[in-house]
Structure 1
Amino acid sequence: MRKILTPLLHTLSRSTGAICLAASLGLVPMAGLAPAPVAAQGLFAPAITVNGDVVTQFELEQRIQLLRLLNAPGDQVKLAREALIEDRLKTQAAKTLDVTVAPEDVQAGIDEMARRANMSTDEFIQALKQGGVSQETVRDFVKSSLLWRDYIGTRYGARARPTPAEIDRALGQAGRGGGLQVLLSEVIIPVTPQTLDQVDALAADIADLQTYEAFSSAAAQYSASNSRVNGGRLDWMPLSRLPGALQPVILGLKKGEISTPLMLPNAVALFQMRGVREGSVVEPRYAKIDYAAYYIPGGRGPEGLAAAQQVLNRVDTCDDLYGVAKGQPPEVLERKSVAPAEIPRDVALELSKLDKGETSIALTRNNGQTLVLLMLCGRTADVAADATREQISQGLVEQRLKSYAESLLAQLKADALIEDQ
C-alpha cells in the first residue's frame, strides 16, 4: 500500500501546505485498517460549507481514511479538512473561467497514478477499496487537481512565459557569456514525523521574514547546515551546481526575497537571494557525481556529532573513509558515482555546496536517528548535458505558475466564508 499511495500523499501534502515528502514520512502499511465508523443517516450530512458549497461528512471521513492509510503524521482530521476546503475553492475558481475537465482526462489521471504504482487501474482501485477509500473519492480528488492545473494555466499562462532575455540569463548566455552565479543564504531545518507540525509552523514564520539580518539570525538558531555558523550565508555558487528542480525556484527569487519552504527528505529548506551575477567561466554540467556517505548512530545529538568530528579529524579524501569503516557492517558506508538526477534532492543540495574532499554533516536518516557524514569525491563534466532553451523556459513557467497558484489559493481562503456544520 505504501508504494501505491505515495504519489497521492505527495499531492495531498502540497495541497494542504504541509511541509513533508513521502520519502521522509516513515510511511508504513496499515493492514486491516477499517474505515472510521459513521452513522448511515449522517453520511451525507454537511460537515463544512465553503462559500455555500457543502462538504459532506462522507467526503471528510473518506479523506481522513486516506490519510490514515498513508500513516500521515500530524492532525489527520485537520489536514483532511483543509484539503477539502481547498478543493472546493479550486472548483469554484475554475467555474469563473468556465474551465472543465473531460471524463476521459480524469480517467487518464487515475490510469497514470496506477502506472506509477506498477499496477493496472483495476488493481489500483481495488487496493484503495480494501483500505476503505472509494473509487469516487479518488475520481473527485483527481478532477479537482486537474481543474486547478488548467485554471491556473488559463489565467496565468501568458504572464508566466519568460522573455528571450530571461531564458538567456538562465542559460548563462547574457553579458560576457559566463555561467550564471547566485549568492544565497539558507536555512535547513531537520524534520521527523514527530516534529512535522512544529517545523511547518517555524518554516512558515521564517518565509515571512523581511530582512537579511532576520534570516541570518534564524539560520544561526535553527539551521542544521554547516553554513549556520555564518548566519546561513553561502559563497557565490554556479547555478548549474544546484539540483535541476531547484534552479527555477532560485531564478524566480528577487534580491532579498525568501523562497517558500521546500520539501526535502528529513528536512525543510528555505533560501534567500542575495545576488545574481555572470561568471567569467561557464560552469560545466555534470554527467556523474562521485560521493560517499558514512552513517553514524545518534543523529544530531551530542554523541552523533562527537563521533562525526572524530571521523572528520581522520579523513582528507573519500578513500580514507574505507579505513574508518573497516570492520563495521558494509551498510555504514556508501560510495556512489551517479548522474545528478539520480541523487536524492537533499544530498544533491549539500553536494552542490562542496568542492572535492569537503564534507557536510547537515543530513540525517532514520527519522533523525542516524547522522550522515557526506563527502564529495569528484565531479565528471558532461558538456553535452546543457539544458536546452525549451527546458529552461518550461522550468521557469512551472515555477511561476506554482507561485501564482499558491498566492491565489491563499487569497481565496482569506476571502472565503467557511463554516463548520
Structure 2
Amino acid sequence: MRKAGEMSGKTTLKQITLALAGSAMAIAAYFGQAQAQGLFDPVAHVDQAIVTEYEVQQRVRFLQVLGAPGGSRQEVIEELIQDRLRTQEARQVGAIASESAVQDGMSEFAGRANLPLDEFITALEQEGVSRETFRDFVGVQITWRDYIRARFGSRVQITDTDVDRAISGATGSSGLEVLISEIIIPAPPPRAAQVQAQAEEIAQSSSEAEFSSFARRFSATASRGNGGRLPWTPISDLPPVLRPLLLALGPGEVTAPLPIPNAVALFQLRAVRETSTPEPTFSAIEYAAYYIAGGRSPEALGRARGIAARIDRCDDLYGIAQGQPESALDRGSLPPSEIPTDIALELSKLDPGETSIALTRANGQTLVLLMLCGRTPALETDQDINRDGISAGIRNQRLNAFSENLLEQLAAEANIRILP
C-alpha cells in the first residue's frame, strides 16, 4: 500500500519511460487483448463496487510510465481492491477529499516533475494514461491519509519516554545496537524520478523476504548479494539523520525513501537490542576519499581494488595521489552531523584502515575509494535535539500501523470476488 501523499515525477515523462521505449507493439497487443474481453467488464467485485478491466489497464500503464515496481496485473488488481475498501470506508463518514484538495495533490505531484499540472497531464495522456486515472490515484491517497489521521490521531499518544528512548538510542548513550537491511539505488538526474517511484513502492514492503528481494534487484551496495542484510551495528556508528528514523520503526518496518547524493536509500529494521556497555559517541570522524575516473567501469573498479590492496592507512593515499591534481584526494575530520549521508553510511560499516568502493560522484562518472582513518570519541553528549521531529516520526509510523490493520480488517469483512 502506498503511503498517502508520497508521490513523485520527473522533468519529462519520456525520460521516466526509457525502459519502456520500443515496447509500443507489446503494449498495443496487451490493450488489444483487453478490448477483446471488454474494457469495462468487471474483473473484481468489492461488495457492491466493481473494478473494471479499463481501470486495471490504466493503473498498469500508469505504473509503467513511472517505472515503479508492483505493476503486475495481479498486484494492480489487489491494489485497486484496496482502493475500493479505502473509499467505501471513508465515504461512510463523509470523509472523501474535496476537489480542491485533490487538485492541490495533483499539482504537487506534477511539481515534483518540474511541470505545471496541465503539462504533466498532457504528458501522461501521450503515454496512454487518462487524466481521470491520475486524479483517482491521487484522490484515494489523500482521502485515506486524512481519514486515518482523523480516526486514529487521538489514539496515538507519544510520551516523553517514547521520545527519550529514541533520543538515547540516537545519541548512542544507551548502548543500543540495530539489525537492519539496506537498499541504495543509484539515482543520477535523468533517472531521479523513476528511482523515487521505485523507492516509494519498496517502502511499502511488509516482510523481510520482500525487502531482501527488492535489495537483490535494485540495490547497488555490496550487501545486495545478502539481500541487503547488515550485521548488528551500534546505533552510534550510523549517521545522526538515520538514528531517530530507525528507532521510530517496529521490526519489519521500512523508512521512507531517504535522498542521498545521486541515490535514494531505504532501511528496514529487523531487530533492536541493548548491550551491557553504552556505545561511545564521536565528536569527529576522519576519513579520506580518493577519486578515480571511469565510475563503476571494470577498469576503474580494478584500479580501486588494486590500490586498496596496497594501502593500510589513510596516509598511504598521499603517495597514490602524488603528481595528480589536489582535487583527486580529499581528507578531513568532521563532526558526524556534517558528513554527507552516503559517506557516513559507508563509514559506519568500516573499521579504521578499511576501504569501500560503493560510492560514485559526478553523476556516476567518478568512483570514490573511501577509507576510514579514525573516530574521535566525544567528551560530552550535549547536542541540539529536535524532540518535535522525533515525536512526529514516531506518530507517523504508528498511524501507518493503524492504517494497515484497518485495511486487513476491511478486507476480511468485505465480499471480495476476483473474476477469472
| TM tier, smaller | 0.5 to 0.7
* Paired position in structure 1 for 2:51: 55
CA apart distance, 1:394: 0.9
1:93 matches 2:89: yes
Which of 145, 167, 180 matches 1:186?
180
CA apart distance, 1:62: 1.1
CA apart distance, 1:44: 2.4
* Paired position in structure 2 for 1:402: 400
Deviations 1:114-154 (A, max 9, x none): 22222222222222122121111111111111111112212
* Paired position in structure 1 for 2:18: 28
In structure 2, how many angstroms separate the alpha carbons of the residues matched to 1:243 and 1:51?
48
Deviations 1:181-210 (A, max 9, x none): 4212234478899xx9xxx8xx866469xx
1:242 matches 2:239: yes
Counterpart mapping for 1:251-290 below 5 A = 251-253=248-250, 257-260=251-254, 269-276=267-274, 283=281
CA apart distance, 1:106: 0.6
Deviations 1:90-118 (A, max 9, x none): 22232344322111111111111222222
In structure 2, how many angstroms separate the alpha carbons of the residues matched to 1:105 and 1:285?
45
What SS class does the counterpart of residue 232 from structure 2 fall into?
coil
Which of 139, 153, 157 matches 1:157?
153
Q: Residue 179 of structure 1 contacts residue 278 of structure 1 at CA under 8 Å; is this kept in 2?
A: no
Comparing 351-360 with 54-63, greater Cα deviation is found at 351-360
CA apart distance, 1:161: 3.1
**TM-score of the two chains, using structure 1 as the length reference:** 0.65
CA apart distance, 1:393: 1.1
Q: Residue 59 of structure 1 contacts residue 137 of structure 1 at CA under 8 Å; is this kept in 2?
A: yes
In structure 1, how many angstroms separate the alpha carbons of the residues matched to 2:80 and 2:235?
41
Which of 141, 156, 161 matches 1:145?
141
Change over 3 Å in CA distance of 1:297–1:32 after alignment to 2: closer
* Paired position in structure 1 for 2:387: 389
In structure 2, how many angstroms separate the alpha carbons of the residues matched to 1:261 and 1:326?
42
In structure 1, how many angstroms separate the alpha carbons of the residues matched to 2:325 and 2:62?
38
CA apart distance, 1:63: 1.1
In structure 2, how many angstroms separate the alpha carbons of the residues matched to 1:392 and 1:52?
42
CA apart distance, 1:396: 1.2
Q: Residue 291 of structure 1 contacts residue 374 of structure 1 at CA under 8 Å; is this kept in 2?
A: yes
Change over 3 Å in CA distance of 1:379–1:107 after alignment to 2: farther
What SS class does the counterpart of residue 129 from structure 1 fall into?
helix
In structure 2, how many angstroms separate the alpha carbons of the residues matched to 1:334 and 1:77?
49
* Paired position in structure 2 for 1:219: none
- Percent of aligned pairs sharing the same letter: 39
CA apart distance, 1:285: 8.2
* Paired position in structure 2 for 1:214: none
In structure 2, how many angstroms separate the alpha carbons of the residues matched to 1:68 and 1:331?
41
What SS class does the counterpart of residue 244 from structure 1 fall into?
coil
CA apart distance, 1:46: 1.6
* Paired position in structure 2 for 1:420: 419
Change over 3 Å in CA distance of 1:134–1:340 after alignment to 2: farther
Counterpart mapping for 1:307-326 below 5 A = 310-317=306-313, 320-321=316-317
In structure 2, how many angstroms separate the alpha carbons of the residues matched to 1:285 and 1:95?
53
Change over 3 Å in CA distance of 1:242–1:46 after alignment to 2: same
CA apart distance, 1:84: 1.8
What SS class does the counterpart of residue 172 from structure 1 fall into?
helix
In structure 1, how many angstroms separate the alpha carbons of the residues matched to 2:339 and 2:86?
34
**Amino acid of the structure 2 residue aligned with 1:145:** Q
1:81 matches 2:77: yes
What SS class does the counterpart of residue 292 from structure 1 fall into?
strand
**TM-score of the two chains, using structure 2 as the length reference:** 0.65
Deviations 1:323-367 (A, max 9, x none): 6578999999898989969946x65433334466543456799xx
Change over 3 Å in CA distance of 1:95–1:184 after alignment to 2: same
In structure 2, how many angstroms separate the alpha carbons of the residues matched to 1:341 and 1:150?
36
**Amino acid of the structure 2 residue aligned with 1:292:** A
Counterpart mapping for 1:112-131 below 5 A = 112-131=108-127
* Paired position in structure 2 for 1:43: 39
**Amino acid of the structure 1 residue aligned with 2:79:** A
CA apart distance, 1:408: 3.5
Comparing 270-279 with 260-269, greater Cα deviation is found at 260-269
CA apart distance, 1:402: 2.5
Deviations 1:162-221 (A, max 9, x none): 1122223323399xx97344212234478899xx9xxx8xx866469xxxxxxxxxxxxx
In structure 2, how many angstroms separate the alpha carbons of the residues matched to 1:325 and 1:414?
64
Q: Residue 172 of structure 2 contacts residue 234 of structure 2 at CA under 8 Å; is this kept in 1?
A: no
Q: Residue 204 of structure 1 contacts residue 261 of structure 1 at CA under 8 Å; is this kept in 2?
A: no
Aligned residue pairs total 371
**Amino acid of the structure 2 residue aligned with 1:405:** S
Comparing 356-365 with 71-80, greater Cα deviation is found at 356-365
Unaligned runs of at least 5 residues, structure 2: 1-5, 187-193, 211-220
Change over 3 Å in CA distance of 1:389–1:268 after alignment to 2: closer
CA RMSD after TM alignment: 5.4
